[in-house]
Structure 1
Amino acid sequence: MVDHLQQKPHAILVSYPLQGHVIPSIQLAIKLASSGFTITFINTQSIHHQITSKNQQNGHQEEDIFTEARRASPGLDIRYMTVSDGLPVGFDRSLNHDQFMASLLHVFSAHVEEVVLKVVGENENNVSCLIADTFFVWPGSLAKKYGLLYISFWTEPAMVFTLYYHMDLLRSNGHFGYIDAREDSIDYIPGLPRIEPKDLMSYLQTPEVSVTHQLIFKAFRDAKNADMVLCNTVQELEPQVISSIQKRVPFYAIGPLFPTLDFSSNNVAMSLWAESDCSRWLDSQEQGSVLYVSFGSYAHVRKTDLLKIANGIALSNVKFVWVMRPDIVSSDDDDPLPDEFKKGTQDRGIIIQWCNQKQVISHPAIGGFFTHCGWNSILESIWCELPMLCFPLLTDQFTNRKLVVDDWKIGVDLCVMKNLVTENEIAKNVKYLMNEESSRELRTAVKEIRKILDKAIESGGSSWGNMTNYINDLKLILEKKIKRNIDV
């Protein structure tokens, strides 16, 4: 007879199919497997295809994205499965966002349930919990149906979590969901200091309540009933917000979720585009002299803004590496930069479609990061002690910018009322950021934030302790649950 109390926890982990969510989900899977979990990781066929096809171009032939991780740590028990998200592999999800989200709700969820049923059936009572991205609306009911604990995984800052958590307050106070929404400061969200409407997530700055909003409402109703919430942030970075959330739901800040000991290498295939290697060019540049420019893997940039940024960088005379993914403007315009910009800056800059970002920004030649303020990029920039130029595009990026610019004072805002500043102001701020003397305060501040990350992940630190507490709390809940079932 199997002693279920002695078995290690088995978690089914479902990542939201965007690179900014997949990357920390992969690292969470490895961290939990390293702590004795069995993990069944569910990926979409679209993300899997994009990763594996592009990594084959990068010289990797593996079909299972965890193969290298298992080779590096043979004891990792991670099982990998893929399902359809309900759309063709080549479908442009970023340009058809509402259709994509509807498919995740109605089709992807059904395919995930098939996997859950199969895994639970094969492993009998050994599967203990479903860990799923908070943005899904169905994990809570799915976990309940199959007798699993529901662990909600939040990949963004705790501040963003609590704003979504209190969408009802924002709506009842007139700051969200109205054509003539209030424009004064918001000072009534529990645990949150005063915040301006311009710093809300983009979804909360629109007057109409769309399908996307309805899904977010449902997702957070689900999250409020989760057994636990894991968050890719650090307790000391958002102490008041996290303390307030913890009064409502078991909330564990376990970030940053990236391999800190070998930061620049990827032991898991996770790139969505073929990577260019610019290390030889960077090796020839002076320390801290190169600006890294990247706007992430999903959101689009208006062509007028892209040209303004290009002109600003040209005027600055600063050296740069610019990651220009093929669909940055749209799938129909894969070369949006004018030839005169490329010719005029070819002696001091390189333009690439994609790269290993951690490898590039950890290079000594990189001195600053022109970013869309994606949460992964912010944490990675802090780890590399790089100040930031902030140009948010979508969702949480506007709120992330507030943290970077206003709260931690490690970056410069390039927006006025959601509009990009002029090309002359871009040039001025680029030169300011890349001049070590003028940006000294930013650089000192980012070094201090890096120390907070260091301390949090070391033995005895807050993230280390929160992960330990999460595992111990989970095992305690499972033991009680198993004993109840045995008694029955």
Structure 2
Amino acid sequence: MADKSQKLHAIFIPYPLQGHVNPSVQLALKLASQGFTITFINTESVHNQASKAHSKNGTDIFAKVRDSGLDIRYMTVSDGLPVGFDRSLNHDQFMAALLHVFSAHAEDVVNQIIQSGQKVHCLIADTYFVWPSKVAKKFGMLYISFWTETALVFTLYYHLDLLKRNGHFACTDCREDAITYIPGVKSIELKDTTSYLQETCSTTVCHQIISNAFEDTKNADFVLCNTAQELETETISALRKKMSWFAVGPIFSSGFTDRIVSTSMWSESDCSPWLGKKRNDSVLYVSFGSYAHLTKKELEEIAQGLSLSKVSFIWVLRPDIVSTEVPNPLPDGFREEVAGQGMIVPWCCQKEVLAHPAIGGFLTHCGWNSVLESMWCEVPMLCYPLYTDQFTNRKLVVDDWKIGINLSNQKIVTKEEVSKNVNHLMGEKSGEAYRNSVKEVKRTMENGLKPGGSSANNMDQFIKDLKAKIQNIK
């Protein structure tokens, strides 16, 4: 049996995308502060890109953390592709490598750690990996699945078999009526499910990943989720009847804007001098995240709509937002046209910008990290989802929590829609209900993280249950 006094050692492998690495780093820090030893394994590609953006990082992103007494070790591993390969431009090849090749590299690095004589109790890995339960079993570890998205998206994927059986997914002539049979979900329209569930073809590499990953996750000993119980009460209650499932979010550092570990994959512009000259709640923050792409037409309409709105804005415009082959996608003369109205930067520290008192709204793709950060900073949202879970997150933001509005129901957004909705969200009277609602949501999340709150209690219970399960392993 495991020694009761022995420190728990977890190997932690995040999914190699910015939106997954960020909460994984925060969870690693949280567990280390609870006494865990963590061996955090990044891919060489993610590490290389972050190191270029932060020359101070060196070979170990957790070096400063260890100086403060936390036991976090750091390693890198190949994802199966050359470090310089453009993963964003070649998305399907990247996903295929994660589906078919990465498991061998992950297993090899786990084996190295075990062979070095270290006692490892559990493997924490992103739910989207297709191999963790098998690797954990092979090396005698418990498997903790880390889900970085909402409970609603988790349960939709978890019940793929129900969706197939009822003709809402993976069939030649799928039903288009509301889905009413998923446990813990009263009703959801197909347009509010993830992009993968809306697609007619269900055999792509991403569909294979989702299907295989959720079969693997059914073998997890525990699931940790970056959401708050009060935000998705019924869905979480239903999931907890099926598995050891814990809502422990939002997983932020104790100081929201603290950056003791630099994980950004791009160098960041400082927006604070510009924001400091703006009045409170007057600036719209615009960002479509770290990975999603827009078409040139979409981007042009959004640009012209922002100009038309006359609202001050900060726009994070990644150089590859359309494609790495279209580095200057803005309309001719746009930067000059909005010089007094807007600030356009390639990347920034989103938490710092959202936390600034000048920010009054967020035009967002509805990535889950962005939604959580916006709620935490009490910033209402203008929603423009692009793919994957973002459509479901929009439903939660707009319909369930009423802390934002939908930018467009059309296939192609127009500049007139952009201007009208920006002004509606940012208006003193028209935006008041959203600002009030998001303050309530922030209070709920804050209470959940306090001692005795739902997220704090769930984290404590998870650790207690994990220790008990390890004690019972002979």
* CA–CA distance in structure 1, aligned partners of residues 403 and 168 of structure 2: 28
Alignment partner, residue 28 of structure 1: 27
* Secondary structure of the structure 2 residue equivalent to 1:41: strand
Q: Is the 8 A contact 1:265 1:359 kept in 2?
A: no
Q: How far has the Cα of 1:61 moved from its partner?
A: 4.4
Alignment partner, residue 328 of structure 1: 321
Deviation string 1:149-186 (CA, Å, 9 cap, x unpaired) is: 01100000000000000011111111111343111111
Deviation string 1:209-249 (CA, Å, 9 cap, x unpaired) is: 22221221111011111100000000000000000001111
1:15 aligns with 2:14: yes
Q: Is the 8 A contact 1:265 1:358 kept in 2?
A: no
Alignment partner, residue 313 of structure 1: 306
Alignment partner, residue 432 of structure 2: 440
Alignment partner, residue 404 of structure 1: 397
1:244 aligns with 2:243: no
* CA–CA distance in structure 2, aligned partners of residues 317 and 67 of structure 1: 45
* Secondary structure of the structure 1 residue equivalent to 2:314: strand
* Secondary structure of the structure 1 residue equivalent to 2:116: helix
Q: How far has the Cα of 1:101 moved from its partner?
A: 1.5
The more displaced of 3-12 and 461-470 is 3-12
1:357 aligns with 2:350: yes
Q: Is the 8 A contact 1:292 1:368 kept in 2?
A: yes
Deviation string 1:402-446 (CA, Å, 9 cap, x unpaired) is: 0000000001111316x2432111101101111122111101100
Letter in 2 for 1:436: E
Letter in 2 for 1:339: D
Q: Is the 8 A contact 2:302 2:413 kept in 1?
A: no
Letter in 2 for 1:299: A
Deviation string 1:51-88 (CA, Å, 9 cap, x unpaired) is: 011112xxx243211123333xx220001000111112
1:62 aligns with 2:58: yes
Closer/same/farther in 2, CA of residues 211 and 438 from structure 1, 3 Å limit: same
Q: How far has the Cα of 1:197 moved from its partner?
A: 0.3
Alignment partner, residue 46 of structure 2: 47
* Secondary structure of the structure 2 residue equivalent to 1:123: coil
Report the number of matched residues. 473
Q: Is the 8 A contact 2:298 2:413 kept in 1?
A: no
Letter in 2 for 1:63: T
TM-score, length-normalised on structure 2? 0.98
Deviation string 1:277-314 (CA, Å, 9 cap, x unpaired) is: 11111111111111000000001111110011011101
* CA–CA distance in structure 1, aligned partners of residues 330 and 42 of structure 2: 34
* Secondary structure of the structure 1 residue equivalent to 2:121: strand
Alignment partner, residue 199 of structure 1: 192
* Secondary structure of the structure 1 residue equivalent to 2:397: helix
Q: How far has the Cα of 1:3 moved from its partner?
A: 7.1
Correspondence for 1:255 among 244, 249, 253: 249
Letter in 2 for 1:460: G
Q: Within 5 A, what are the aligned runs for 1:117-196? A: 117-124=111-118, 126-196=119-189
* CA–CA distance in structure 1, aligned partners of residues 22 and 136 of structure 2: 23
Alignment partner, residue 216 of structure 1: 210
Letter in 2 for 1:432: H
* Secondary structure of the structure 2 residue equivalent to 1:127: coil
Alignment partner, residue 78 of structure 2: 84
* CA–CA distance in structure 2, aligned partners of residues 375 and 339 of structure 1: 33
Alignment partner, residue 102 of structure 1: 96
TM-score, length-normalised on structure 1? 0.95
Q: Is the 8 A contact 2:12 2:40 kept in 1?
A: yes
Closer/same/farther in 2, CA of residues 3 and 194 from structure 1, 3 Å limit: closer
Alignment partner, residue 472 of structure 2: 480
1:470 aligns with 2:466: no
Q: Is the 8 A contact 1:414 1:420 kept in 2?
A: no
Q: Within 5 A, what are the aligned runs for 1:414-433? A: 414-416=407-409, 419-433=411-425
* CA–CA distance in structure 2, aligned partners of residues 287 and 379 of structure 1: 21
* Secondary structure of the structure 2 residue equivalent to 1:241: helix
1:291 aligns with 2:284: yes
The more displaced of 34-43 and 337-346 is 337-346
Alignment partner, residue 383 of structure 1: 376
* CA–CA distance in structure 2, aligned partners of residues 67 and 79 of structure 1: 9
* CA–CA distance in structure 1, aligned partners of residues 2 and 22 of structure 2: 35
Q: How far has the Cα of 1:339 moved from its partner?
A: 3.0
Q: How far has the Cα of 1:264 moved from its partner?
A: 1.6
Letter in 1 for 2:187: R
* Secondary structure of the structure 2 residue equivalent to 1:225: coil
Q: Is the 8 A contact 1:390 1:401 kept in 2?
A: yes
Unaligned segments of structure 2, at least 5 residues: none
Closer/same/farther in 2, CA of residues 131 and 3 from structure 1, 3 Å limit: closer
Q: Is the 8 A contact 1:179 1:208 kept in 2?
A: no
Letter in 1 for 2:153: V
Deviation string 1:435-482 (CA, Å, 9 cap, x unpaired) is: 12211110110000000111000010000000000101000000111x
Q: How far has the Cα of 1:342 moved from its partner?
A: 1.1
Alignment partner, residue 281 of structure 1: 274
* CA–CA distance in structure 2, aligned partners of residues 324 and 3 of structure 1: 51
* Secondary structure of the structure 2 residue equivalent to 1:415: coil
Q: Is the 8 A contact 1:197 1:205 kept in 2?
A: yes
List structure 1 runs of 4+ shifted beyond 6 angstroms: none
Letter in 1 for 2:54: N
Q: How far has the Cα of 1:335 moved from its partner?
A: 1.4
Percent sequence identity over matched residues? 59
The more displaced of 207-216 and 318-327 is 207-216
Q: How far has the Cα of 1:122 moved from its partner?
A: 2.2
Q: Is the 8 A contact 1:318 1:348 kept in 2?
A: yes
Alignment partner, residue 451 of structure 1: 443
* Secondary structure of the structure 1 residue equivalent to 2:54: helix
Correspondence for 1:269 among 259, 262, 273: 262
Q: Is the 8 A contact 2:2 2:470 kept in 1?
A: no
Root mean square deviation, CA, Å: 1.3
Letter in 1 for 2:262: A
Letter in 1 for 2:134: S
